Structure 1
Amino acid sequence: MSWHSGFRTEPPKYRPVAVVDIGSNSVRLVVYDGLRRSPSPIFNEKVLCGLGKGVAITGRLNETAITRALQSLRRFRTLVQQIGVKQVFAVATAAAREAENGEEFIDKAEKALGAGIRVLTGKEEARFAALGVLAGTPEADGVAGDLGGGSLELIDIKDGKLLDGVTLPIGPLRLIDLSGANIDRAQTIVDEYLSKTPVLKKLKGRTFYAVGGAWRNLARVHMAQMDYPLHVLHHYQMDRKQARSISELMSHLTAASLKDVKDMSKARVDTLPYGAMILDRLMHFGEAKNVVISVYGVREGLLYSKLPRKKMSSDALLSSCWDFARRYARSPAHELELCDWTDQIFSKKGLAETEEQKRLRYAACLLADIGWRAHPDYRAERSLGMISQAAFVGIDHPGRVFLALTIFFRYDGEAMSEDMTRLLDDKHVERAHLLSSLFRLAYILSAAMPGLLPRIGIKIEAKALVLTLPEKLKDLMGERVEKRLSELAFEMGLTPKVAIK
């Protein structure tokens, strides 16, 4: 049975679902295009209400924050009705969980939102954050950390499983209250907690997966500092030295100075230094190998937990690429045939490839026709932009650029920015050229329609690249096919050959 058996070729149905996240710092509504393996956000709005401000001192949510939060929730209720959302999943975290008047606030909030609100325990918050990391980075091996305004959740992840976890009361808003807005005193508090946290002992030499707005902003600043060519936060990496360097720098800047920093949210100037300091101390105590940013967190983990087990175990990247094919390709069924057709070149008697290379080849096949509606002169650039900037997960940045480059070449693109290709080595660029040549041959044979490729053979035989056509399809041969076959054979160092059987 084929790996894509059971794939449905009609466009994905529009069944929006919403998650409302009532955190210590922000109240957010995210509407996704459906309860699917790789959901895409179609609407995203947050309001920095600051519910957690003062809770560490007074024990209560302040009235101004409550008023802002309830007003936002009433707006969210109207928006989800307008969008046509049938399912709303609403959760509240540390501030509502710990405040004396938290239960009273939740009662009012449920009336404002018109939906039930689940107040997460610390363990539940850590679990959903870690599930979010796994949903976006299935191969995750390390410790996931979710930094909210009032707390920090840490949980060990290994072999797709969630292990030990802990919730620590050291979110930026709480630290500002407890330290009297003194970063040095805040660090003393953080060090006291982290030095006694067993899960950090399991982080040494592994990856720290950073979840939360403060750390995303920190990564955005680091990207600008490094003149990084790909402005995609998910799976952005910093090694331990880089993470400590940018964290130390940002933790010592004043709010006034941070307002002048390009590429940083001005709404986070008060809390970012504390988030940066916490990351630095995590690197100090945990001795992580590197930091990987995850844009998936509690909200995505919550949706992921609602999926049937079969969907949970499906490949996040291939699911996203298949959705693209179903929306944009002339014939999604043809793209599945392309996956199988290219298998012939990479069979046991053909070219060698790793499992990850095979996975990326399948992803490239699914994306190979997404630019067809554009003007021919712009198909390469359009596809390059769509793929490099898509909300894909389950792929690192070099892999993302490889896919974009493959389809760029498939449309005969030649002048791709060298800045982006610096994320790839020469072997990946050569493979992108090879796959693109293979795709061009397939499309000139099939006209992007299903039914022909399964009847056409292509294989490596001795030192020849042999294209085999049945007698009934021999008229498909022509100058264009001969040219494409010769180009592909030349790249492979083989002699082109055509067999009619």
Structure 2
Amino acid sequence: MSWHTGFRTEPPKYRPVAVVDIGSNSVRLVVYDGLRRSPTPVFNEKILCGLGRGVATKGKLGEDAIARALKALRRFRALARQIGARDVFAVATAAAREASNGEDFVDAAEKALGTGIDVLTGKEEARYAALGVIAGIPGADGVAGDLGGGSLELIDIKDGKLRDGITLPLGPLRLIDMSGASIDNARDIIDDYFSKASILEQLKGRTFYAVGGTWRNLAKLHMAQAHYPLHVLHGYRVTRPQASGVANLVSHLSASSLRDVREVSKSRADTMPYGALVLERLLTHSQPAAVEVSVFGVREGLLYAKLPRRKRESDALLSSCWDFARRYARSPEHELELCDWTDQLFTGTGALSETPEQKRLRYAACLLADIGWRAHPDYRAERSLGMISQAAFVGVDHPGRVFLALTIFYRYDGETESDGLDRLLDDEQHQRAHLLSNMFRLAYILSAAMPGMLPKIGLKLTDGKTLVLKLPKKLADLGGERVDKRLSSLAAELGRTGKIVVG
């Protein structure tokens, strides 16, 4: 039985689902395209209400912040209805659960939004944030840290399971209150909490997964400094010294200076130095090997928790690529056959070597191989490169994402790539991208992208120096000059000679 047995080939149905996240700093609505393994946002809006500002010193939510939040929630209710989201899940975090008037605010918020709101405990918030990391980075091994306006949730992740977790009152808004807006006082407060946080000892030499808007802005800044060619935050990975460097820099900048930095959201200028300081001190206390950004957090973790187990355990990348095939390919069935057809060179006598991750990326590339067909022939390569490199994929690192994009780029006869993406791949990955692209070009010239053909056509490496393409007698007329040319190109990639056998 093939790995894709039971895949549904009709286009995925649009069943939007909404999540409202009432945080200490922002109130946000995100509408996703459905309750699926890799949900894609179709609408995203936030209002920085600053509900948590003053809670640490005054113990209550400010009236102006409440008014802004309720107005935003009424708008979100109307938007969710307009978009057609049948399910609206709403959560509130640190500010609402800790303020003396938090319960009254939640009652008013439920009326404004028209649905119930779950006020998460610190442990629940940490759990959902970590589930979001697992949903987006399935192989995560380290500690996830979700920095909100009022708190920092830390939870250990190993082998797809959640371990120890804690909540610390170190959100930027709370730090501003507790420190009297003094960055030096904030440093002392942070160090005091981190010196008692044993979970940080478990992070040494592993990866810290950064969740939250403040840390995403730090990543944007580092990308700009490094002239990084791929402007995708999810999966952006830097070494500890690199992360410490940018965090230390921002923690010493004033809010007015940060407002002039293009990569930093102006609405976060007041809180950025404190969020950067939290990261810099965390890295000092824990000594991780690297920091990796996760754009999946509490909201995505909440949806992930609602999936049946079978869907949670499915491959996030392949699920997304299959959705692409169902939406954009001429024949999704053909893309599945392409997966099986390319298997022939990686199994049996003289098979090419392949790791499990390379096999997974090969299947993903097969599913994406025909997504550019509707574009003008001169632009199919560039269109596919942009679609794949910029897609809202998760479950793949940046080199893997670029490998997929360049494989399909080459499949459409793309020759030069000027965006600098190729610098993210090593020579072996480049060679493999060219190899797969040549396999795809041969497959499409044989099948015309229609299902039912590839399963009848053999492709085999002999013990000698020959790559054999076997056509049944009924398909002998498929042979021709273009097939000869494509077979020769593929054989040359393998250091072989191509040969067509009929019968």
- How far off its partner does 1:10 sit? 0.4
CA deviation profile, 1:127-168 (whole Å, cap 9, x unmatched): 000000000000000000000000000000001110000000
SS in 1 for 2:345: coil
Superposed, 1:439-454 pairs within 5 Å as 439-454=440-455
After the TM superposition, which residues 51-62 of structure 1 pair with which residues of structure 2 at under 5 Å, given as runs? 51-62=51-62
Deviations along 1:19-68, whole A, 9 cap, x unmatched?
00000000000000000000000000000000000000111000000000
Could you say which residue in structure 1 is the equivalent of 2:392? Answer: 391
Alignment-derived partner of residue 342 in structure 1: 342
Aligned residue type for 1:61: L
Q: Is residue 481 from structure 1 mapped to residue 483 from structure 2 by the alignment? A: yes
In structure 2, distance between residues paired with 1:227 and 1:479 = 45
Please state whether the residue corresponding to 1:364 is helix, strand or coil: helix
The answer as to 2:423 corresponding to 1:422 is yes
Q: What code does the residue aligned with 2:169 have?
A: P
Q: Deviations over 1:155-208 (max 9, x none)?
A: 000011100000001100000001011011001001100110011010000000
1:419, distance to aligned residue in structure 2 (A): 1.6
How much does 1:418 deviate? 5.9
SS at match of 1:422: helix
1:279 corresponding residue in structure 2:
279
What is the DSSP-based 3-state SS (H/G/I as helix, E as strand, rest coil) of the residue aligned with 1:372?
coil
Q: Map 1:22-101; keep pairs closer than 5 Å.
A: 22-101=22-101
Q: Which residue of 2 aligns with 1:214?
A: 214
1:407 maps to 408
Using the alignment, how far apart are the partners of 1:197 and 1:256 within structure 2?
A: 33
Amino acid at match of 2:176: I
Find the counterpart in structure 2 of residue 2 from structure 1: 2
Residue 464 of structure 1 is matched in structure 2 by: 466
Structure 1 runs not aligned, ≥5 long: none
The Cα shift of 1:348 comes to 3.7
Q: What does residue 242 of structure 1 align with?
A: 242
Report what 2:204 is aligned to: 204
Over residues 258-310 of structure 1, what are the superposed CA-to-partner deviations in whole Å (9 max), with x where a residue is unaligned?
01112110100001101100001110111000100000000000000000000
Deviation at 1:382, TM superposition (A): 0.1
- Taking structure 2 as the reference length, the TM-score comes to 0.99
Q: Secondary structure at the match of 2:395?
A: coil
- Segments ≥4 residues shifted beyond 6 Å: none
In 2: Cα distance, 1:146 partner to 1:268 partner? 16
Q: Pairwise mapping of residues 158-197 of structure 1 onto structure 2 (< 5 A)?
A: 158-197=158-197
Partner residue of 1:357? 358
What do residues 200-229 of structure 1 show as CA deviations (whole Å, max 9, x unaligned)?
010000000000000000000000011100
Equivalent AA in structure 2 for residue 375 of structure 1: H
- Code of the residue aligned with 2:414 in structure 1: it is G
Contact persistence 2:155–2:166 (CA under 8 A): yes
Partners in 2 of 1:169 and 1:490 — Cα distance?
Answer: 61
Q: Secondary structure at the match of 2:292?
A: strand
Give deviations 1:359-378, integer Å, cap 9, x for gaps. Answer: 00000000000000000000
Q: C-alpha separation between the residues in 2 aligned to 1:226 and 1:262?
A: 15
Cα contact 2:229–2:419 (8 A) shared by 1 = no
Identify the match of residue 494 of structure 1 among 486, 496, 499. Answer: 496
Distance in 1, Cα, partners of 2:166 & 2:284: 18
Q: State the identity %.
A: 74
Structure 2 distance, partners of 1:415, 1:469, is 34
Say how many residue pairs are matched. Answer: 501
Is the contact between residue 9 and residue 333 of structure 2 (CA under 8 Å) also seen in structure 1? Answer: yes
Counterpart-to-counterpart distance in 2, 1:417 and 1:395: 23
* In structure 1, C-alpha distance between the alignment counterparts of 2:201 and 2:356, rounded to whole Å: 32
Q: Distance in 1 between matches of 2:312 and 2:184?
A: 43
SS of the residue 2:498 aligns to: strand
Q: Could you report, residue by residue, the CA deviation over 1:396-426 in whole angstroms, capped at 9, with x for unpaired residues?
A: 1111110000000000001112621111111
- Look up the match of 2:229: 229
Amino acid corresponding to residue 315 of structure 1 in structure 2: D
CA distance in 2 between counterparts of 1:58 and 1:4 reads 57
Distance 1:225 1:262 in 2: 12
What secondary structure, in the 3-state scheme, does the structure 2 residue paired with 1:234 have? coil
1:428-474 Cα offsets, whole Å, 9 max, x none, are 11110000000000000000000000011001012210001111111
Cα distance between partner residues in 1 of 2:125 and 2:418: 41
For 2:35, give the aligned amino acid. L
Tell me the distance in 2 between the aligned counterparts of 1:251 and 1:483. Answer: 59
Deviates more, 1:471-480 or 1:122-131: 471-480
Structure 2: 5+ residue stretches without partners: none
SS at match of 1:468: strand
Query: 1:431 corresponds to which letter in structure 2?
Result: R
Deviations 1:62-106 (A, max 9, x none): 000000000000000000110011000000000000000000000
How far residue 499 of structure 1 moved from its aligned partner, in angstroms, is 1.1
What letter corresponds to residue 347 of structure 1 in structure 2? T
Given the superposition, is the C-alpha separation of residues 483 and 260 from structure 1 closer, same or farther in structure 2, using an over 3 Å criterion?
same
Distance of 2:311 and 2:199 partners within structure 1: 30
Per-residue deviation at 1:498?
1.0
- For residue 238 of structure 1, report the CA deviation from its aligned partner: 1.2
Give the match for residue 252 of structure 2: 252
Instruction: Indicate the SS of the match to 2:424.
Output: coil
CA–CA separation in structure 1 for the residues paired with 2:419 and 2:459: 33
Distance 2:470 2:66 in 1: 71
1:419 is aligned with what amino acid? G
Secondary structure of 1:24 counterpart: coil
Question: Matched residues in 2 for 1:342 and 1:34: separation?
Answer: 32
- CA–CA distance in structure 1, aligned partners of residues 460 and 162 of structure 2: 44
Alignment of 1:318-329 (within 5 A): 318-329=318-329
1:257 and 1:264 mapped to 2: Cα distance? 10
Q: Which residue does 1:14 correspond to in 2?
A: 14
